[in-house]
Amino acid sequence: MDNTVFDYVVIGAGTAGCLLANRLSANPAHRVLLIEAGRPDDYHWIHIPVGYLYCINNPRTDWRYQTEPDPGLNGRRLLYPRGKTLGGCSSINGMIYMRGQQRDYDQWARLTGDSDWRWDQCLSDFRAHEDHYRLDTEANPDFRRLHGNGGEWRVEKQRLRWDLLDAFAQAAQQAGIPATDDFNSGTNEGVGYFEVNQKAGWRWNASKAFLRPVSHRPNLTVWTQALTERLLFERDAQGRLRCTGAQVRALSGRVSVTARREVVLSAGAVGSPAILQRSGVGPAPLLQSLGIAVQHELPGVGENLQDHLQIRSVYKVQGARTLNTLASSLWGKAKIGLEYALKRSGPMSMAPSQLGAFTRSDPAQPWPNIEYHVQPLSLDAFGQPLHRFPAFTASVCNLNPTSRGHVRITSAEPEAAPAIAPNYLSTPEDRQVAADSLRVTRRIVAQPALAQYQPEEFKPGVQFQTDEELARLAGDIASTIFHPVGTTRMGRADDPMAVVDSHLRVRGVAGLRVVDAGVMPTITSGNTNSPTLMIAEKAARWMLSGN
């Protein structure tokens, strides 16, 4: 830490930060500093796919945030995991490769007035880092046009299948949901096995993909266990504000770093607004109430929080192979471990969810608005032991919630966790989708393809039938699916709640960008990790070209 002057300072070595560090340091003339509050990603459970069970809610790898008591969840609080290690959330997430729907990006283009966010313009930024296993043999020109090969971000098929999940897929088709072998073509309607970010049975996180291959570059410096306390600013003679660096608390003590070109916040939809607020950039009433001098008032910082809320239905079954039964004995666990050790396959290579489906919560919906994550296992809550009976779980989430929440710091101290209030199910539209989606689950499970397993609804229970009962029930049993976005959203110049412009530059502050999932004005229709990489790819290109 002797040299503290760099061209670019990137705060947060998560999904976006790792890619940015790679791209910005490709020019040896650029000195790049990447700052991470967590530790290196050398914890073995990060790399074994099933290890997410040991990484989430583990202080070694997770910030372990909690939400505020949520009225939409009938007063419950939720664990709100965020990655705290090199690779960030890509080191602890579900590894599902998902872009979303074409309309998501076309909507961003309309909201920002920037055609570079259109789906057809974003495709090249997805393809730039994608390494899709199918392109080794795929001859279909449409598939080759949509996907990339030879990039850093490995996409593979899952290394195990389940008869029970195959039957669920058949039942979904009998219920009118078509089969699909590509959720990432721009329209993800259909049912099929998810593709995952793995390589030969190991988790493929952003650190492995983008950081490790370039760690030898002398112009790239990575600090771990370095907490960013606040940003540093100066004003020119005309009173214009510029971000010049950051104050960081490292193991060796407090240090101030300087960025000659730009500071980039890539600390995520919780971390980035918290750093901005601590630094005096955000809603003035909040900052003043905490004794923080207002450097620049931006009322949208921390607002517009969106997330996918999953409603988990559990069905007992008969005569089916499930993880509940496979892992119910020491011998079964030993077999699972041996299979992974010898073949890098079996349950230890599992993503949290194997089978996916996108459909409409009711026929009047103009596009697929709900997503299923289906698992050959069940438990009472995350972190609890598996049930002793064979079962599967069908989790369903509203892809386009209208509920909006916020992230607000509670103290000027960087160690203090922010108040996270997602405000789930706070609109009539979201409560209706919740009720309707539970009915769709029941309709799928009632199809002939699953009859051989005699599925019995264990949770929530068939006694709940009316819209009011099902919506309240969703509040009792639903949980986050770990996709917070929107808290530093981009928008037009006349949008008073936009935090960044369409090139992700913080409004009213020179030399500062936000590049992470927080800039999404609306949440994507699917898992959010890979869209965050696309955002970072686009941002790096702009930064290197001076835009």
Catalytic residues, by residue number, are 483
> Which stretch of DSSP H or E encloses residue 457?
strand 456-459
Question: What's the rounded Cα separation, in Å, for the pair 545 and 339?
Answer: 49
Radius of gyration of the CA atoms of the chain, in A: 23
Cα 546 to Cα 129, 411, 424, distances in angstroms: 21, 36, 39
In 3D space, the residue among 502, 5, 507 whose CA is nearest the CA of residue 246 turns out to be 5
Q: Are strands 32-35 and 220-223 parallel, antiparallel or unpaired?
A: parallel
Is the CB of residue 70 less than 8 Å from the CB of residue 76?
Answer: yes
Please give the full DSSP string across 205-255, using - where no structure is assigned: -HIIIIIGGGTT-TTEEEE-S-EEEEEEEEE-TT--EEEEEEEEEETTEEE
Long-range contacts (CB closer than 8 Å, 24 or more residues apart) made by 499-502: 499/273, 499/276, 499/298, 499/300, 499/301, 501/112, 502/112, 502/113, 502/114, 502/116, 502/117
Neighbours of 28 (CB within 10 A): 10
Question: What's the rounded Cα separation, in Å, for the pair 349 and 367?
Answer: 33
Question: What's the rounded Cα separation, in Å, for the pair 27 and 12?
Answer: 21
